[in-house]
Amino acid sequence: MAIGVKASHISFVAHFLGIVGAIMVLIWCISFRGGLAWEATNKNLIFNLHPVLMLIGLIIIGGEAIMSYKCLPLKKPEKKLIHLVLHAIALILGIIGIYTAFKFHNESNIANLYSLHSWLGIGVISLYGIQWLYGFVVFFYPGGTTAIRSESLPWHVLFGIFVYVLAVATATLGYLEKLTFLESSGLAKYGSEAFLVNFTAIVTILYGTFVIVTILSQAPPEDEYSYSAI
């Protein structure tokens, strides 16, 4: 089932929101939070890598991977490869992003995995990895039988949507958690940084929404009868 709008048209809105979201999180972490660093005496610079990598990697590049299969006017094998590679990049950046959060906590003597955001984050990255590995083995190499691929496809699509929606929700919780910590430490509740973080969260939600709308839209005519996997 598809809504009566071309996926490629809807995806333009998503691409724009993705660019805006990436710029906003970089402005927040570099201009307001002091920059990015892998090693630093100011451990907050290490943490700043976390939201940047999670948003640009797991959410934005992951969203582009999802939309690539629906709106690119290419042959199925080409779209499958792009879909696979973009998801791999998103997964790798997501793993590094989660590692930076653990690195920040460990070097700052802060407990790990005590919040709902952290629990969901581990769940999301684990499910994302499982989804990618299953997709690689069944749909790419060595590839399952026609019957296995046919039976797996609807579940692959549904599970992928579920994991992506959960990732967006987890990112939103992350913005809320970090902003709450900052405001508890004296950040102005109605200051420019607070507004920037909240609007970045809104853009993230809108981007995720348009990713989902894109995959529910009409594929290119030549692809109407091929499978519509995310």
Is residue 35 over pLDDT 50?
A: yes
Could you read off the pLDDT of 195-215 as tens digits, one per residue?
A: 999 999 999 999 999 999 999
In whole angstroms, what separates CA 34 from the centre of its chain?
24
Please tell me the pTM assigned to this model.
0.93
CA dist., res. 2 & res. 122, Å (int)? 32
**Distances in whole angstroms, Cα of residue 146 to Cα of each of 139, 143, 153, 217, 227:** 10, 9, 11, 26, 13
Could you read off the pLDDT of 68-86 as tens digits, one per residue?
A: 988 888 888 899 999 999 9
Structural domains for the chain: 3-229 (1.20.120.1770)
Q: How many CB atoms lie within 10 A of CB 130?
A: 12
Question: What mean pLDDT is reported for the chain?
Answer: 93
Place of tokens 């950040």: 187
Region 87-101: mean pLDDT is 98
CB 166 within 8 A of CB 131: no
Tokens for 132, please give them.
């990618």
Q: How many CB atoms lie within 10 A of CB 136?
A: 15
**Distances in whole angstroms, Cα of residue 15 to Cα of each of 12, 26, 110, 144, 159:** 5, 17, 36, 33, 23
What pLDDT score was predicted for residue 222? 58
Region 126-137: mean pLDDT is 97
